[in-house]
Amino acid sequence: MAEIYLDNGATTALSEGVMARMTEVMRGTYGNPSSLHRKGQEAEKVMEDSRRVIADYLRVDPRTIYFTSGGTESANTAILGAAYRNRRLGKHILTVRGEHPATSETLRYLADQGYEVEYIDSDAEGRAIFSSLQAKLRSDTVLVACLHVNNETGVIQPIAEMGRIIKLLNPKTFFYVDAVQSFAKMQILPDEWKIDLLSASAHKFHGPKGVGCLYVRRGLQLPPYIRGGGQENKLRSGTENVPGIAGMAEAVREAVEDMAGHDAQMRACKMRLYKGICEAFPEAVVNGPSPETGASHVLNMRFPGIRSEVLLHALEDYGIFVSSGSACASNKPEEKSPALSALGLSRDEMDQSLRFSFSRCNQPEEMDEVVRALQQLMPRLRRFTRR
């Protein structure tokens, strides 16, 4: 049975090219970048070349790129570091509802430490409202933390405008952007958009798991989050994950090569599936932004009367893999689906929502098969709903 993997927001398949590059590095460039001999030098070169690839994509100085273990570590380093660096400014933090737990849990930790965490109002699709940002930004606001593309709904935040507003009103406020879902899928311009800190994770764009990076604007000195041998300019100690870093760079290279083409392909998949679902199931509703304005790789839909987890398991039998935000009724759906909860969906509605997330590996024709599978499954599942 052919697999149709539509859970690319969770993780993506490792690309063959990345795998080959990593194998090559693991086999040949096994040295420790800190070693003084030739083997160390070779490893260091692999790392610095990788850093340059990523910096080139973001159009920034390579010295602003720090390698980490992934999105969550980057978020923790950025948020805790920014709060510490700005500790004399105040204890006020602004964020948006429906953030990823890597951000929201770190902010909750800061709230326990006495920080005041306030939410920027968002519109019906989950997008931050500028006037609310303007009104709530204060002289003691140390940080604004915001997702670029929401992992559940695909809503794209107007980062460039937000950056401009923040720096206009309070140049001292740091702006942290979680770009885990958008990195290597769209052009991101930290310099132009006035971003101070930005996080990314390799496995969301066909790179390996366990590696990511943090962009830290030049001139901003973050305290180390992991202390030790002083690697990564003392920000992140620990022997560097050289093969992972090389793999991440290779994944960026592949992604950036034809970013517009990949985007068009994902968009085509999304629209084809969206239209197919709407034709077959007129009662289905989109959660979050309209399919045209949301990110190309995320489609979140609600099927009234159907429990998404059951549908998810039933789709497995067709080799189709998707994601349901909330696991089951006994768990707290607000915690599993913060973004849907922020949109005001009820528990039942969250329980009926399914996320399809695409990658450049998906073909638009596959979407017809997904619709066919849904058509076969729905009549049966509709009969067995919670009454």
Stretch that binds other proteins, among 123-131, 170-178, 236-244, 376-384 (CB under 8 A): 376-384
Q: What are 303-307's contacts with CB under 8 Å, separation 24+?
A: 303/352, 303/353, 303/354, 303/378, 304/352, 305/352, 305/382, 305/385, 306/352, 306/378, 306/381, 306/382, 306/385, 307/351, 307/352, 307/381, 307/385, 307/386
Q: Is 1 in the site for other proteins (CB under 8 A)?
A: no
Residue 202: C-alpha distances to residues 165, 185, 188, 322, 379 (Å): 30, 12, 15, 20, 39
- d(CA 236, CA 140) in angstroms, rounded, equals 28
Stretch that binds other proteins, among 97-105, 134-142, 169-177, 377-385 (CB under 8 A): 377-385
> Exposed e or buried b for every residue in 166-181, given b needs 16+ CB within 10 A?
bbeebeebbbbbbbbb
- Complex with other proteins: residue 231 or 323, whichever CB lies closer: 323
> Is residue 146 flagged as an active site residue?
no
Q: Is 166 in the site for other proteins (CB under 8 A)?
A: no
Work out which of 20, 168, 280, 328 binds other proteins, going by CB under 8 A: 328
Q: Is 4 in the site for other proteins (CB under 8 A)?
A: no
310: its two tokens: 């059951």
- Complex with other proteins: residue 213 or 378, whichever CB lies closer: 378
Instruction: Give me the catalytic one of 146, 213, 269, 328.
Output: 328
- d(CA 142, CA 110) in angstroms, rounded, equals 12
Name the minimum Å distance from CB 317 to other proteins.
Answer: 7
Write down the number of H helices and E strands in the chain.
Answer: 14, 13
- d(CA 236, CA 227) in angstroms, rounded, equals 7
Q: Is 313 in the site for other proteins (CB under 8 A)?
A: yes
Q: Is 327 in the site for other proteins (CB under 8 A)?
A: yes
Size of the site for other proteins (CB under 8 A): 18
Work out which of 310, 321, 363, 369 binds other proteins, going by CB under 8 A: 310
Name the minimum Å distance from CB 209 to other proteins.
Answer: 20
Work out which of 222, 314, 320, 354 binds other proteins, going by CB under 8 A: 314
Name the minimum Å distance from CB 98 to other proteins.
Answer: 23
- d(CA 371, CA 317) in angstroms, rounded, equals 14
Name the minimum Å distance from CB 71 to other proteins.
Answer: 24
- d(CA 346, CA 141) in angstroms, rounded, equals 32
- Complex with other proteins: residue 43 or 312, whichever CB lies closer: 312
Q: Is 312 in the site for other proteins (CB under 8 A)?
A: yes
CB of 337 within 8 A of CB of 347?
no
- Complex with other proteins: residue 14 or 381, whichever CB lies closer: 381
What is the set of active-site residues? Answer: 328
Positions touching other proteins (CB under 8 A) are: 307, 309-314, 316-317, 327-328, 330-331, 380, 383-384, 386-387
